[in-house]
A and B are shown apart, each in its own frame.
Chain A
Amino acid sequence: MTKFYQEPALAKKVLIANDNPDIIKVIQAKLKNEYEIIVAVNGQEVLDLAKKNIPNVIVMDYHMPVMNGEEASKRLKADPELQNIPILLLTASLNISRIQVMGVDDYIDILQLMNKIKKWTTDKPDHKSKAS
């Protein structure tokens, strides 16, 4: 868990798409010891940074300027180079019926952040996974 135990170059990359600096701060605090974190503040930036860095997983917010999370997810899934990157929708809403149409792979509450990221970056993704 210490910093020099893990080679930075080998660390898995998490792309966080969110326009709220406080949420980014919290996620960074939570993940920075184990993952390399890339931050995008709008949907367009997600597409650009995903192409450049090929992250292991993307944590997507729905409400973002320029391009929202749904549109960005759809475009990522339409790109053959990027379509295998798991997209996790960060939401506090229980009404998550729309994830199938939004093209994201899973939805997470912030408390499940670490578990789900671990799951989606190590295991074979289980597409039937459910949120509690």
Chain B
Amino acid sequence: MSSRFSLNNYHILLRVIAFLLVLECCLVFFGWSFDITVLKSILPGLVAMNPLTALCFLCAGISLLGNRMIRRACASFLLLVGLVKIFDYVLGTNLSLDQVLFSAKLEGNQIAPNTAMEFLFVGAALLLMETKNGLAAGQFLNFIALIIAWTALLGYFYSSVALYRIGLFIPMAVHTAISFICLCAAIFCLKINEGLTRHIVSDDSGGIMARRLIPAVIVIPSLLGWLKLIAQEQGLIEVSSGTALVAVGNILLFGILIWMTTRSISLVEEKHRKTEEARMRLANEVVNVKSEFISVVSHELRTPLTVIKGGIDVVADETLGPLNHDQKDMLDTTKRNVDRLGRLINDVLDFQKLEAGRMVFNFAEHDLNEVVKDTVEEFQAYIKECGLGLQFSCPQEAVRVICDSDKIVQVLTNLLNNAIKFTNKGVISVGIQVGSDGHAKVSVQDQGVGIKLEDKEKLFQTFSQVGDAQTRKTGSSGLGLAIVKRIIEKHDGIIDVESVYGQGSTFYFTLPLKQ
């Protein structure tokens, strides 16, 4: 639909009409110059177009093609002509503006009152449409002008003099009426995608409806009325039955048209819906492919790692024969890096799962004291090995929380590893406190390098690198704390850090207590 009604087409229409108006003016002038009736009044006996009217159409044509300045100037001229002529008619004066051109040949021809009115409206419409707030008003005036011109044209069609002639004044010429219809259409085209007309060119169902029905609304009743008139004149039907038949015809034709329009709108919307569904399906597929990818990668990456780890272990514990010091040292280095690779893979996959919402949490009631104590105990030897002290404090009575104990162990492991990594000497303290706000708080305090205030913000973000050199040395994936944060958030807890740079950090997280 949209391609058929592209804005470009409206601009072409606009130019064609403008060109025709200019051409018409030339022809009318030619007609007046050489007394060619066909050019002046189309049919003999009909009223001729006043030369000034022709000049006004020339102006209108130029205004359609010109820039803002030209358009304003031309529109002002139209407005002025209209005003002066109406002024003449109303006050009975004769300023004879329309007697200037070809004055010798005019023989009383002047601009009709409805034509003057038309120029007034069209000029005002063009001027208003150039202003910011007057666009809609201008378009409405233009619409009124269109209706007046259409009425006059129907008058010629139906041979109803009253429709194109006001009182006993001179009537509007037939080609003037046609020209006004074209001019009004062109003026709409000027700013078709703004103001009142934008709904007509829109791509939605409203636009389709308008484009289908508006031409029919103009043509069908006019045509039926004309047929009725002919039939009556021929004595084929009476007035009452003719009027009834016109009504029936309108109902029939509009009924069919509205049904057809509704059907095509339904089809368009169905198409939209199907596209939308297809898009959703595709999105789901992408998610599935992604999660499948994660599981395949996790398996494929871990299996060789298991073999490498196991292989190094078998050699290192001298099951396969004794090793010298250098060999052991090299194996140690290798093992450390394999462990690191394993952690990186786990971090990346965990993070992917958390992001995709595919991480499974097994929430159950646990004693937080026990969970933390078990983890700390497993770190005891390692912390001692690193030359650090360890303190652990917890409440006497059990701290009941709903959590996934494995995930909490993962969080604590991460925090403890960080504490160890960044502390050269001193004590690492792990503590559990029960707050009065219905939360239990677990804290891991170190006496390490601490965190600068400006680094605190990005600490829990993905791939954040707090202190470049440090991070590289300690070999973290940059995902650890981001994963930890998401796990704690899944438990409806919060995680944060308090730190004085150079004096150590305290990471803590909270978990809601079981009510």
- Chain A interface residues toward B at CB < 8 A: 20, 22-23, 26-27, 29-30, 33, 63, 90-98, 100, 109-111, 113, 130, 132
Contacts and interface: CB of A to CB of B under 8 A. Distances in A.
Interface stretch (B139-147, B308-316, B422-430, B435-443): B308-316
Interface string B291-307: 00000001100111111
Interface of B: 298-299, 302-307, 309-311, 313-314, 319-320, 342, 346, 349-350, 353, 359-362, 374, 378, 404, 406-407, 409-410
B375 to A, nearest CB: 9
B299 A20 contact: no
Contacts, number: 70
A23 B313 CA distance: 12
Given A29-B320, A93-B346, 11 more contacts: A26-B311, A29-B311, A30-B319, A92-B346, A97-B360, A97-B406, A98-B360, A110-B313, A111-B310, A113-B310, A132-B378
Q: In the complex, which of the residues B306, B311, B349 has the most CB atoms of chain A within 10 Å of its own CB atom?
A: B306
A97 B302 CA distance: 17
Nearest to A29: B314
Contact of A97 (B305, B307, B320, B362): B362
A30 B362 contact: no
A113 to B, nearest CB: 7
Contacts of A26: 306-307, 310-311, 313-314
- Interface SS of chain B: helix, strand, loop or mixed? helix
Nearest to B404: A97
A23 B406 contact: no
Contact of B302 (A92, A98, A130): A92
Given A20-B303, A33-B319, A130-B374, A94 B410 contact: yes
Contact of B319 (A20, A29, A93, A97): A29
Given A26-B314, A30-B313, A30-B314, A95 B306 contact: no
A80 B313 CA distance: 36
Contacts of B409: 130
Q: In the complex, which of the residues B307, B362, B374 has the most CB atoms of chain A within 10 Å of its own CB atom?
A: B307
B299 A63 contact: yes
B313 A95 contact: no
A70 B320 CA distance: 33
Nearest to B302: A92
Contacts of B406: 94-97
Contact of B361 (A22, A29, A97): A97
Contacts of A20: 303, 307
Contact of A110 (B310, B319, B346, B353): B310
A92 B374 contact: no
B303 A23 contact: yes
A109 to B, nearest CB: 8
Contacts of B306: 23, 26, 90, 92, 110
Nearest to A34: B319
B342 to A, nearest CB: 6
Contacts of A90: 306
Nearest to B360: A97
Contacts of B302: 91-93
A92 B301 CA distance: 10
Nearest to A132: B378
A130 B311 CA distance: 24
B350 A111 contact: no
Given A26-B310, A110-B310, A111-B309, A95 B303 contact: no
A23 B406 CA distance: 26
A93 B307 contact: no
Closest 5 pairs (CB-CB, A-B): A26-B310, A110-B310, A92-B302, A22-B307, A29-B314
A113 B503 CA distance: 40
Contact of B360 (A63, A95, A132): A95
Contacts of A93: 298, 302, 346, 349
B483 to A, nearest CB: 10
A9 B314 CA distance: 24
A95 B359 contact: yes
A91 B310 CA distance: 12
A94 B305 CA distance: 14
Contacts of A97: 360-362, 404, 406-407
Contact of B310 (A27, A63, A96, A100): A27
Contact of A23 (B307, B374, B404): B307
Contacts of B305: 92
B410 A110 contact: no
Nearest to B301: A92
Nearest to B313: A111
Contact of B346 (A94, A111, A113, A132): A94
Contacts of B319: 29-30, 33
B301 to A, nearest CB: 9
A101 B496 CA distance: 33
A55 B77 CA distance: 108
A93 B307 CA distance: 14
20 contacts: A20-B303, A26-B306, A26-B313, A26-B314, A29-B314, A30-B314, A30-B319, A92-B302, A92-B305, A92-B309, A92-B342, A92-B346, A93-B302, A94-B346, A94-B406, A95-B353, A95-B360, A96-B406, A110-B306, A113-B310
